[in-house]
Amino acid sequence: MDFERDAPNFFSGPYVDRRSERRETASWLSEVRADPRTRYLIASGTAQLMHGAGPDGGMPRIAFLPGDHPIVLAAAPEQLVLLGWFEDAPCLLVDLGSARAEEAPAGTTFEELRPLSGRVPREQAALLAYARALSIWRVRNRFCGLCGSPTRPERAGHVIRCTNPDCAQEIFPRIEPAVIVLVTDGERALLGRQPTWPAGRYSTIAGFVEPGESLEDAVAREVLEETGVRVRRVDYHSSQPWPFPSSLMLGFHAIAEQGARIRVGGELDDVRWFSREELASGIPTLPPAHAISFRLIAAWFDARSSVPLAALRA
């Protein structure tokens, strides 16, 4: 299989210059705060400060604050995380934790990323996903998992260290690898649905990688558990950060054994084979276009179609 895979998925790509070497300097915070170009991304829990997030269908955008804003001035150093250089300017995450500011600045609201992600400009959405993943990691590691002592952030907020000198464990950001796969038999795509999804929506098969398991083994196991179908070939396609809460989706295409019968299991309440003609006609409802699941389906479909699936679904 030779499906298109060059363009980065949504939430990924060269949207930020991380400049990780700056995290190692003791003066990083004073230098970045002294730079008048520095912009501050404000987060409260998993919600982030946004402009234009109303239901009018417009394009929401990040409500960056300047360094002299009261919310920024009131933030303690341990609440600040150096995200990198975004649009050639330093960018700091101000992690308010669960203590949200009493009142958001005029014209802004604290919003969750997931329902807005398809409307936010691509590079801003990626920055928000990056910041959200760090906020979740920080709140989950306020105490050491070995000795129970409080922790403190170091290295510009990208390492958390246990404050107990006899322990001093370093904790680094963690991601949870998950495989997501489009299974085909050549002319049909195998899609399933979860009971909580909107009526008629189907998607690719996905699941978390288990300890001691390769990605290819995880693909074969998840497909068999969820659908009863055995796959005989697995090819990597692309990956996508998915901070809901902290996954990395590793996308694959797989070929099913001929004559494979479906047996619904696991978390799905239905699994079906769909032809190219059904997908072209709008059956079933597919995931949103910014999700890697849609891209896996579209890459397979577009390989034998003169009209891209995204255009047919527009």
What CATH number has the domain bearing residue 252? 3.90.79.10
The answer to the question of residue 165 being in a domain is no
- Per the model's pLDDT, the better-predicted residue between 212 and 7 turns out to be 212
Asked whether the predicted pLDDT for residue 94 surpasses 80, the reply is: yes
End-to-end CA distance of the chain: 26
Asked whether the predicted pLDDT for residue 45 surpasses 80, the reply is: yes
What CATH number has the domain bearing residue 118? 3.90.79
The answer to the question of residue 171 being in a domain is no
Q: Could you give the percent of the chain with pLDDT greater than 90?
A: 87
Residue 183 and residue 129 in one domain:
no
Helix, coil or strand: residue 69: coil
Residue 68 and residue 128 in one domain:
yes
Q: What is the pLDDT of residue 186?
A: 85
Residue 60 and residue 188 in one domain:
no
SS (H, E, C) 249-288: EEEEEEEECCCCCCCCCCCCCEEEEEEHHHHHHCCCECCC
Q: What is the pLDDT of residue 5?
A: 56
The answer to the question of residue 251 being in a domain is yes
Asked whether the predicted pLDDT for residue 304 surpasses 70, the reply is: yes
The answer to the question of residue 33 being in a domain is yes
Q: Which residues contact 8 (CB under 8 A, 6 or more apart)?
A: 14, 238
> For 115-170, what is each residue's pLDDT tens digit?
998 899 999 999 999 999 999 999 999 999 999 999 999 999 999 999 999 999 99
Q: What is the pLDDT of residue 78?
A: 96
> For 182-225, what is each residue's pLDDT tens digit?
999 988 999 999 999 999 999 999 999 999 999 999 999 999 99
Residue 184 and residue 298 in one domain:
yes
Q: Length of the chain in residues, anyone?
A: 314
Q: What is the mean pLDDT of the chain?
A: 93
DSSP state of 210: P
Asked whether the predicted pLDDT for residue 101 surpasses 90, the reply is: no
Residue 116 and residue 204 in one domain:
no
> For 228-278, what is each residue's pLDDT tens digit?
999 999 999 999 999 999 999 999 999 998 778 999 988 899 999 999 999
The domain containing residue 26 runs over which residues? 20-140
Q: What is the pLDDT of residue 92?
A: 98
- Tell me how many degrees the CA angle 208-191-284 measures, rounded to the nearest 5: 135
Q: What is the pLDDT of residue 303?
A: 94
Q: What is the pLDDT of residue 87?
A: 97
* Neighbour tally for 170: CB within 10 Å: 11
